[in-house]
Amino acid sequence: MLVIPGGGYSFVSEREGEPIALYYLAQGFVCATLYYSILKPYPTQLIEAMLALKYLKEHSKEYYIRKDKIASIGFSAGGHLAGLLSTIKEDESSLIEGNTYRPDLTIMAYPVISSEEGITHEDTIKSINMEKKREKVSIDKRIDDKTPPMFIWHTKNDDLVPYENSILLRNTLSKNGIESELILFENGRHGLSTSDYNTILLDEINDVTKEVSKWKDLSLEFLRENGFTAK
């Protein structure tokens, strides 16, 4: 599992890194967390994500990884980066010599998908200097028949990244015949990560966060249904 934290490309959220890796580690996954460069123009972070995935693929025997079962999980802007990595285009593939890799499955947590004004998270797009080339980094415009299966979750009252991003992603995947599952929670703020005491304050734990925390087990079911099991 390649874990890609969020942070609007202006910082890397520690809450969406190691705690996520530890959850999936406990489920039998080998986990790696990507701490990518911040406030650098596209395609800097994409190159780093490509290098990380390439490393895991090519060192699979060393780390006891099933080479054909490497998933990625991205949060917010990290979801955007996971989306770029899952929809590599020909001109981007050549950025890394000999690169032909995409994740075999991707989990998207409250992701930035569209780059269109009014639905995107503007700071994310500005941080990678793509205001004038928005369509190139709009994940919904990049989906093709090589896009891996995706598990997506979002909260409807997310006040930073509108949940319409996830609906757009799910609809586009369906139109292209890509397997996907979308879980929408009625309540919950942006950036809940694991939605438990590992990533939020104890006095924030309530019925809302407990409900949202179900995404972890639901994602695990989706992974298992797609053959991601420890051997």
User: With 80 as the cut, is the pLDDT of residue 78 above it?
Assistant: yes
173-185 pLDDT per residue, tens:
999 999 999 999 9
How far from 75 is each of 43, 83, 133, 218, CA to CA, in Å? 18, 10, 22, 16
Nearest to 6 by CA among 185, 161, 139: 161
Inter-residue contact 43 to 92 (CB < 8 Å): yes
Percent of the chain, pLDDT > 70? 100
Percent of the chain, pLDDT > 90? 94
pLDDT computed for residue 97 by the predictor: 84
User: With 90 as the cut, is the pLDDT of residue 23 above it?
Assistant: yes
Inter-residue contact 222 to 151 (CB < 8 Å): yes
Tokens found for residue 156 = 């409807």
Give the SS3 label for residue 130: coil
pLDDT computed for residue 90 by the predictor: 87
User: With 90 as the cut, is the pLDDT of residue 226 above it?
Assistant: yes
**Dist CA 45 CA 154 (whole Å):** 23
- Residue partners of 90: CB distance under 8 A and separation at least 6: none
pLDDT computed for residue 98 by the predictor: 75
User: With 80 as the cut, is the pLDDT of residue 100 above it?
Assistant: no
Band of the pLDDT at 231, cuts 50, 70, 90? confident
Band of the pLDDT at 194, cuts 50, 70, 90? very high
113-162 pLDDT per residue, tens:
999 999 999 999 999 999 999 999 999 999 999 999 999 999 999 999 99
pLDDT computed for residue 219 by the predictor: 98
Residue 180: strand pairing partners: 150
Preceding omega of 43 cis (within 30 degrees of 0): yes
Element (H, E) at 45: helix 44-58
How far from 163 is each of 84, 115, 156, 182, CA to CA, in Å? 19, 14, 6, 11
pLDDT computed for residue 49 by the predictor: 97
Inter-residue contact 152 to 112 (CB < 8 Å): no
**Dist CA 199 CA 149 (whole Å):** 27
pLDDT computed for residue 230 by the predictor: 77
Element (H, E) at 122: helix 122-127
Higher pLDDT, 56 or 97: 56
**Dist CA 174 CA 5 (whole Å):** 26
- Cα dihedral across residues 164, 156, 213, 189: positive or negative: positive
User: With 90 as the cut, is the pLDDT of residue 9 above it?
Assistant: yes
Q: pTM for the complete prediction?
A: 0.97
20 phi and psi, to 5 degrees?
A: -70, -45
